Amino acid sequence: MGDDRSDLALLYRRAGFGLRAAELDQLEAGGYEAAVEQLVGGLGSAADPAGDHVPLPAFPPYTAPTDAAARMQAQRAEAEELAALQTWWMDRMIATSTPLRERLTLFWHGHFATGAAKVRDVRLMYLQNQLFRTSGASGFEVLVQGVAKDGAMMVWLDTITDKAQHPNENFARELMELFTLGIGNYTQADVTAAARAFTGWTYNRLQYEYLFRAAQHDYGTKTYLGQSGDWNGEDVVHIAVTRPESARFIVAKLWSHFAYPILWSNRIVDDLLPAYGAGLDIAAVLRALFLHPAFRSGTTRTGLVKQPVEYLAGAARALGLTATVTSGRALPQLATALGQTLFNPPNVGGWGQNDYWLDSATAQLRAEIALLLAGHADLGPVESVSPSGRIGAVAQLLGLDGFGPTTTAALHQVEAEPAQLTALALASPEFVLA
C-alpha cells in the first residue's frame, strides 16, 4: 500500500476522473475511508450541483422520415444532437460533484453497450444514460429490469419486434451472455425460452414509454435455466440475475473495471460476494471493492490503461478545460479519434481493456492531443516555479505520485518549456495508466 495521499489519488482516478491538488489536500485531512464513503454517498439520487449546472441539449421529438430528403435531414439533425449529447456528458464528467456516479454510468454504458447508429433517436440515448445514472447503484435486478424496458436497448437488440409467432433471440441471448451470466452458463434452449418470454414487448417511440401487447405474447410453459413456468420477461430477468453465476460474473466485471482484470473464479470475488448479497447491492459491493486491501496494491496501480474518454476527461479536469477545447476540436471528437465514441460502442460487447487501447498509431495521436490540451490550459502552477521544480509541479497538477526514471529523464529535457513539459507528462505511461 502507498500512503494516504497516494491512495486517495488512485481512488479518485479509478472511482472518478482524478483530483485537483487542492481537492487532494482537503481529502487527505479526512483519510481514505472517509473519501470512500463520500464517493459512495454520491451515488443514486444524491445532489450533483456542478454536474446539473451543465446545460442539457434540446432533443426534438422523434418523427419517422417519410422520404429520402427527410431521411437526410433527420440524419444531419441526429449527428448534431449526438455531438451535443457527447459534449454534455463529458462536461458532466469534468465538472461533477459526484464522480463515482459518472464513472459508474460510463461502466454501465460499456456493459449494456447500445449504439446511436442503430437506435437513431438521441433522446432515447439520453434516457438510457439517465437510467444508468439514477439506477446504476441500486440493486442489480432493478437496473436490469429497467434496461430490459429501456427504449434504446429495445431498439438496439430488437425486443420491439418480439412476437409470439416470431420470437427474436437477440436480447434474450445477450441478457445472459454479456449482461448477467457470461458464456458457458446457459444453453440455446434457455435463449429460445427467454425470447418467448419477451414476446409482446414493444416501445412507443412517440410517447417514450414501454408497452406490453398481450395479444403478441406467448403464454405457454417455458423452461428457463432449469425452472419451468409461464414466464414473462420480468420473470426471466429475475431468474437470471439471482443465479449464483450472475453474482460472480457481475462482481468480477466491477473489479475488472475499477481495479484490474480478473476472472469470476478469482478469490477476490469470494471476498466481495457478501457485500453484493441477496439484494444484489451495487453500492455496497463498490464500497467493499475500494476498501479491499488489493485495491491499493501495486497490481492495481499498474493494472489498467485509461480508456480515451477517461484519459481526456481526467486531463481536462486537471488542466481546467471544458469538453469544448477549441472550435472543432471538442473532447468527444478526440476520443473518437482515439477509438472510443460515446453512445456508439463498436458492438454489443462494448470496448475492450488495456491492450485494446495500445498501438503505435494511437500513441502518436495521444502525444498530439496532449500538446493541444497543454497549449490551451492555464499552466500557472507549473510556470510559477523554477525549472528545476517543474517536474514535481506537473506531477501534482496531474494528480500523480511522480514519474519513473525513464520518464523523468525525458521530462528534464523540456522542463524549461511548461507546455511541452505538461504535454509530455500527459503522454507518459504514468498518466496513461489509470
**SS3 annotation, 125-189:** HHHHHHHHHHHCCCEHHHHHHHHHCCHHHHHHCCHHHCECCECCCHHHHHHHHHHHCCCCCCCHH
Report the C-alpha gap between 372 and 88 in whole angstroms: 21
Read off the pLDDT of each residue in 217-222 and give the average, rounded to a whole number: 98
Report the C-alpha gap between 290 and 258 in whole angstroms: 9
Share of the chain above pLDDT 90, in %: 88
Look over the chain and give the mean of its residue pLDDT values, rounded to a whole number: 95
Confidence of residue 326 (pLDDT cuts 50, 70, 90): confident
- What is the bridge-based pairing of β-strands 201-204 and 209-212? antiparallel
260-285 pLDDT, tens digit each:
999 999 999 999 999 999 999 999 99
**339 close to 361: Cβ distance less than 8 angstroms:** no
Q: Given this model, what pLDDT does residue 327 score?
A: 64
| Cross-strand pairs, 54 | none
Read off the pLDDT of each residue in 363-382 and give the average, rounded to a whole number: 94
What kind and span of H or E run contains 6?
A: helix 4-14
222-265 pLDDT, tens digit each:
999 999 999 999 999 999 999 999 999 999 999 999 999 999 99
| Cross-strand pairs, 281 | 139
Task: Indicate the range of 6-15, 185-194, 321-330, 392-401 predicted with least confidence.
Answer: 321-330
Q: Given this model, what pLDDT does residue 1 score?
A: 44
Task: Indicate the range of 46-50, 75-79, 354-358, 402-406 predicted with least confidence.
Answer: 75-79
Report the C-alpha gap between 297 and 389 in whole angstroms: 29
Q: Is the dihedral of CA 41, 44, 45, 51 positive or negative?
A: positive
For the cut 50, the answer to whether the pLDDT of residue 217 exceeds it is: yes
Report the C-alpha gap between 268 and 135 in whole angstroms: 25
For the cut 90, the answer to whether the pLDDT of residue 21 exceeds it is: no
Report the C-alpha gap between 65 and 69 in whole angstroms: 8
Task: Supply 264's cell numbers.
Answer: 469470476
Q: Given this model, what pLDDT does residue 339 score?
A: 96
Report the C-alpha gap between 13 and 7 in whole angstroms: 10
Read off the pLDDT of each residue in 339-362 and give the average, rounded to a whole number: 94
For the cut 70, the answer to whether the pLDDT of residue 201 exceeds it is: yes
Cα distances (Å, whole numbers) of residue 254 to 27, 108, 125, 186, 289: 24, 10, 23, 21, 8
157-184 pLDDT, tens digit each:
999 999 999 999 999 999 999 999 999 9
Read off the pLDDT of each residue in 425-432 and give the average, rounded to a whole number: 96
Residues contacting residue 361 through CB under 8 Å, at least 6 positions apart: none
Task: Supply 40's cell numbers.
Answer: 459512495
Secondary structure (3-state) at 402:
coil
Angle at 24 between CA 137 and CA 36, to 5 degrees: 30
DSSP character at residue 307: P
290-320 pLDDT, tens digit each:
999 999 999 999 999 999 999 999 999 999 9
Q: Given this model, what pLDDT does residue 71 score?
A: 82
Q: How many CA atoms lie within 13 A of 111 on its CB side?
A: 28
